[in-house]
A and B are shown apart, each in its own frame.
Chain A
Amino acid sequence: GQQLNQSPQSMFIQEGEDVSMNCTSSSIFNTWLWYKQDPGEGPVLLIALYKAGELTSNGRLTAQFGITRKDSFLNISASIPSDVGIYFCAGEPSSGNTGKLIFGQGTTLQVKP
């Protein structure tokens, strides 16, 4: 099935550093969603974006809905050890309104104290 191109696949950073990850698609999306998943748990919604150009923050997290509607990025500032986990982007294609999402493959983040 269709997937989003999410990069990087993994990151190993020092505590306090900023992190950036992004997702791109060849299709236009209505909605971009960013999730974090810890081992043994379900994905937890971090940020939801609904309009092209929208920039939204949630604490140390900032995400943007690309102007072309084909991409989105997530930034984490001043990383801390509890930021460790897998981050997923997901998008709802503009061709439907059923909430059926297409997912990126995930970015695995490791933070060294």
Chain B
Amino acid sequence: DAGITQSPRHKVTETGTPVTLRCHQTENHRYMYWYRQDPGHGLRLIHYSYGVKDTDKGEVSDGYSVSRSKTEDFLLTLESATSSQTSVYFCAISDTGKGGNTIYFGEGSWLTVV
């Protein structure tokens, strides 16, 4: 258990509305990530953070923004949700204390945009 909590776990929202997903970790890890998982595409990196207020884009960052004002929280925001953003979103952290970067995932947030 890497101490990762995602909220909400399930959400249905309307096209054009803003949505924020929250990832909370309890073990003070520096690196945090947001992935989305879709059939046929596997897991794809949206954004990641390497410290408070330090973030960078991943492979599929268009339409998403992130913020990290505290070590323990990493927020993913869909400014204006579209149907193509219907997906499962996973937060992850990196534990660097075992010889390399070991990535642990949260339980996921299921988002449906109607």
Q: Interface on chain A toward B: helix, strand, loop, or mixed SS?
A: loop
Measured in the bound complex, the distance between the Cα atoms of B4 and A41 in whole Å is 13
Measured in the bound complex, the distance between the Cα atoms of B101 and A31 in whole Å is 7
Q: Are B100's CB and A42's CB within 8 A?
A: no
* B107 (CB) vs chain A CBs: closest residue: A42
Q: Are B100's CB and A98's CB within 8 A?
A: no
A44: B residues at CB distance < 8 A: 105
From known contacts A92-B100, A106-B42, infer whether A99 and B107 are also in contact, taking CB-CB under 8 Å: no
User: Which of these, A48, A51, A88, contacts B102 with CB under 8 Å?
Assistant: A48
* A43 (CB) vs chain B CBs: closest residue: B105
Q: How far is the CB of B30 from chain A (nearest CB, A)?
A: 9
A90 at the interface (CB under 8 A from B): yes
* A6 (CB) vs chain B CBs: closest residue: B42
User: Which of these, A33, A92, A100, contacts B58 with CB under 8 Å?
Assistant: A100
* B60 (CB) vs chain A CBs: closest residue: A1
Q: How far is the CB of B66 from chain A (nearest CB, A)?
A: 14
